[in-house]
Amino acid sequence: MNTGLWVWPSDTKAQQEVLRRVARSPQLLRAMTFLIKNERGLSDSELDVLTASNSHWMTLWTVRQLTSLGFVEYKVDFFGGPAQYHMTELGRNALGMIAGQPIQQKLLT
């Protein structure tokens, strides 16, 4: 996982390999789980506390990986609020594939 930036491949076989690598990472799965459960999004500090990594460096690494894959997007609040990370549709689908069941919008509330 420390081999540089990731991209979501177009090849199905390569996508499955990326999903296997994400599934083997407890940090990535934990962050995705908390983001999917929080519809309004999470800030850096909130995600750091929820994932209990106690390391802003690890949280930063996690969101960089998820963002580069296209699973998470970063939304800036231009009126003074903290910026928030949100799951994308691709991220929801990926988490559903990893979990073996689709993530339904009703389960998020």
Domain at 12-100, CATH class: mainly alpha
Under the banding of pLDDT at 50, 70 and 90, the label for residue 103 is low
pTM of this prediction?
Answer: 0.81
Residue 2 clears pLDDT 60, i.e. is over it: no
- State the pairing for strand pair 84-87/72-75: antiparallel
DSSP state of 82: P
Residue 84 clears pLDDT 90, i.e. is over it: yes
Helices (H) and strands (E) in the chain, counts: 5, 2
Per-domain boundaries in the chain: 12-100
Q: What is the DSSP string of 45-66?
A: HHHHHHHT---HHHHHHHHHHH
**How confident is the model over 26-77, as pLDDT tens digits?**
889 999 999 999 888 998 888 888 888 777 888 888 899 999 999 999 999 8
